[in-house]
Amino acid sequence: MIGRSVVVKSYIEVARHVVPEFWEPSRVLAIRKMAQSSMPVIDRFEPERYGRLLDRMAFKDLRRRDLEEAYAKADKIDIDIGIKLGEAELQMPIYVGDMSFGALSGNPNIAIAKAVTEAGAVAGIGEGGLHPEVAKYRNIVVQWASARFGMDMNLLTAGIAVNIKIGQGAKPGIGGHLPGRKVVDIIAKLRKIPVGSEAISPAPHHDIYSIEDLAQRVKALRDLTKKPILVKVAAVNKIHYVSVGVARSTANGIIIDGAGAGTGATPIVARDHLGIPIDIAVPVVDQWLRKDGTRDGFLMIAGGMLYSPLDVAKIIALGADMANLGTAALLAMGCIMCHACHTGGCPTALTNMIGSGKELDIEWGSALLRNYLLAVSRGLKAVLYALGMSSIKELVGRRDLLQIRHVDEELASAIGVELAEPGETAWLDKNRRVIFPREYYEGVHIPIIGMGGVVPGYTTPARRLLDVLRIEAVQVTRPSVDPYREDVDVSVKFGRLVLDTPVVVPAIDEAAEDAAYIMGAAVLGDNCKYEEYCLGSFKPAITPPGEIDIDSGVIIIDERMGGEKPLEAAVARLHRKLMETGRRRETLIVAVGDLYNGADIYKLAALGADLVAPLSAFQQVVQRVKDLPKGERRRRYENLIANLTAELKVLMGAGGVTSYMHTLVGNLDLLRSLDGRVGEILGVEIAGR
């Protein structure tokens, strides 16, 4: 304990966000109520029109009145919800994790280990070494991650199982990132790195490049520890292939982390656009494992925005054996969802820098978490009781008990759940406000954030069709690429035009044109200062999005001109048409529109664009720097170009894509749609297919 530290042992007001998020105050308050009472709370019983699939689902034969009656006596219901993990007998099918010492600030790690051991759940300790106080508790799962931070036999022999972390839902295909300011003495000692150094894990395991490599690692760790070996992966577009590979590796189970899951630090662009939601991944994986004959005896743990007893019951009915409650556990212990985990300044002493003057009261935090876990487990028993079941095993994979509303037929078919009322899955609001971080232009650092709960078009409104597309990240079946350490080529060549980035800079300011020249970017304009980078010098055909019949030269599709189709649809159609006619190499497709980040550039490229002009990003910057001297403005534009390019490289690396022109442009297989209609318009497969 630090002598003069402020000890946190009370809840504070929940953060409120300008843009809607999944973890809105009402959900947080429901969790707090369970944590304070140890009794379940009914939250969002009726199917909703927007949001997660879980929120649009209901058990066909479960009435609210019956559930309320069961919840009222939930602490007296005796139904078996226990599960075996190796030799350990857990009293509830709940996994809390994987949160490292470093991402969390020590006392929260201890509180979690204490709470799960007392409640009969289990927690993953994450990457970063074994805190000596955490080691005293039995119900923990240690982690073998890509950086091997703090790895030794003392760590490997602790707890009841080992998980090999390939990826996590908030940043699939991307390594862990603990900012240097949080690497204080004790963190440095346990991780075996210098004080103050950034702890950046490699994106891939450099000894696991295939299922065969994974199988060797699983066997080696099992032989060494004599414990069950789990493999943790993110829910990515091809999660069904990944899961079959993990099952065939002889691992005892898989931990699947869905899009929107929490984290200590991740690029915002990765959190919001990589991977697929857990409620799509789980039923698809369950179906594939059953077809493959590898489902029996193989444990599936699923997480990503789960928090209520009904959530746990539904995810198990979809096909999981256990639920991973990570963010919800922190919310039970006081998290207010302020997204400041990576800064070291957490107001609730959960993710703050050790020694900063605040610390969580261990007894207070562990008691709340224990109560919350008891409330969820009691609620789960009540659901089973109301459904007429006597064991959790009866619920696993019972998709026939569920109905879903307000989604399209194709998605309902993909997850194997009866569609009671069709609708459009995507949640679109073209007027949704966009938060544009200052990091984009103030320095060469792509915007980073902590925690999750954001999946555009799914948990939050999407501005446009592009947002509904999810980007692929590789897991296990082939390695991701680390753009910080490995080469990712984003150059574009067309005739005499040779560019270092596909980012196109609008000619809105002479300083912006100077920045484009320095950064090797094209300029959208006619009489540009630097002719060799000026798209106008190529006498381009400029057209609104629609039916485009031009088949050679530079074609600029500019949505500011109106048009019959969305920009993304026009790009995809033109690319397909040129491929069919054999004229694709003779054209350069430039997409111009209301675009903000590296994900917009990636997705339009995968749909068929060669160059992308993110007008909204530059308009944000020009408004904020217009009163600065020309040299300062130029530096801000340089930073923006560099950061948009860096985001693009991060997303490419996550998917193992190393060449923009040769592998990304026109590669629809790198995208999946959360909505069947949107997928049909853009020629993109539905998620889960």
> Three-state DSSP class for 204?
coil
Peptide linkage before 98 cis (omega within 30 of 0): yes
In the predicted model, what is the mean pLDDT of residues 514-519?
Answer: 98
**Domain coordinates in residue numbering, the chain:** 30-405, 465-682
Confidence of residue 663 (pLDDT cuts 50, 70, 90): very high
User: Shortest CA distance to 262 belongs to which of 204, 148, 339?
Assistant: 339
Burial track 561-585 (b if 16+ CB lie within 10 A, e otherwise):
eebebbbbbbbbbbbbbbeeeeebe
Instruction: Give how far Cα 329 sits from Cα of 97, 365, 371, Å.
Output: 9, 10, 11
Whether 3 shows a pLDDT value over 70: the answer reads no
Burial track 10-35 (b if 16+ CB lie within 10 A, e otherwise):
ebeebbebeebbbbbeebbebbbebb
DSSP class per residue in 625-671: HTTS-HHHHHHHHHHHHHHHHHHHHHHHHHTT--BIIIIITT-GGGE
Instruction: Using the structure block, give the residue that is written with the tokens 């060797």.
Output: 216
Whether 2 shows a pLDDT value over 60: the answer reads no
Instruction: Using the structure block, give the residue that is written with the tokens 């408004």.
Output: 623
Percent of the chain with pLDDT over 70: 100
pLDDT in tens, 168-223: 999 999 987 777 888 888 888 888 888 888 877 888 888 888 999 999 999 999 99
Q: Are 284 and 233 in contact (CB under 8 A)?
A: no
pLDDT at 479: 87
Helix (H) or strand (E) holding 99: none
pLDDT at 1: 40
166 Cβ partners below 8 Å, 6+ apart? 205, 208, 214, 231, 232, 233, 234, 475, 476
Better pLDDT: 102 or 279: 279
> Three-state DSSP class for 406?
strand
Helix (H) or strand (E) holding 96: strand 94-96
pTM, two decimals, is: 0.96
3-state secondary structure 591-602: EEECCCCHHHHH
pLDDT in tens, 551-582: 999 999 999 999 999 999 999 999 999 999 99
Strands (E), 26-69: 57-59
User: Shortest CA distance to 376 belongs to which of 438, 312, 320?
Assistant: 312
Whether 289 shows a pLDDT value over 60: the answer reads yes
Report the helix count and the strand count for the chain, using DSSP H and E: 21, 29
Rg value, the chain, Cα? 25
638 Cβ partners below 8 Å, 6+ apart? 515, 518, 519
CATH classification for the domain delimited by 30-405, as one of 3.40.50.720, 3.60.150.10, 3.20.20.70, 1.20.210.10: 3.20.20.70
**CA angle, 467 as apex, 53 and 432 as ends, to 5°?**
90
512 Cβ partners below 8 Å, 6+ apart? 505, 506, 523, 618, 622, 633, 634, 637
pLDDT at 319: 98
* Average pLDDT along the chain: 95
Percent of the chain with pLDDT over 90: 86
DSSP class per residue in 476-517: SSS----TTTS--B--EEETTEEES-SBEEESS-HHHHHHHH
Instruction: Using the structure block, give the residue that is written with the tokens 């199982």.
Output: 161
Whether 67 shows a pLDDT value over 80: the answer reads yes
In the predicted model, what is the mean pLDDT of residues 471-488?
Answer: 90
pLDDT at 200: 79
- C-alpha 233/C-alpha 475 separation (Å) is 7
What is residue 433's DSSP assignment? -
pLDDT in tens, 359-373: 999 999 999 999 999
- C-alpha 441/C-alpha 156 separation (Å) is 43
In the predicted model, what is the mean pLDDT of residues 121-136?
Answer: 92
Helix (H) or strand (E) holding 133: none
Strands (E), 184-312: 199-200, 229-234, 253-257, 266-267, 299-303
Helix (H) or strand (E) holding 149: none
What is residue 470's DSSP assignment? E
- The alpha-helical segments, DSSP class H, found in 532-611 are 567-581, 598-607
Count CA atoms within 13 Å of residue 380 on its CB side. 32
pLDDT in tens, 592-605: 999 999 999 999 99
Counting other chains too, the contacts that 625-632 makes at CB distance below 8 Å and 24 or more residues apart are 625/441, 626/509, 630/510, 630/511, 630/514, 631/511
Q: Are 491 and 611 in contact (CB under 8 A)?
A: no
**Would 30-405 and 465-682 be classified into the same CATH topology?**
yes
> Three-state DSSP class for 30?
helix
In the predicted model, what is the mean pLDDT of residues 624-647?
Answer: 97
- C-alpha 133/C-alpha 363 separation (Å) is 13
CATH class of 465-682: alpha beta
pLDDT in tens, 416-439: 999 999 999 999 998 888 899 999
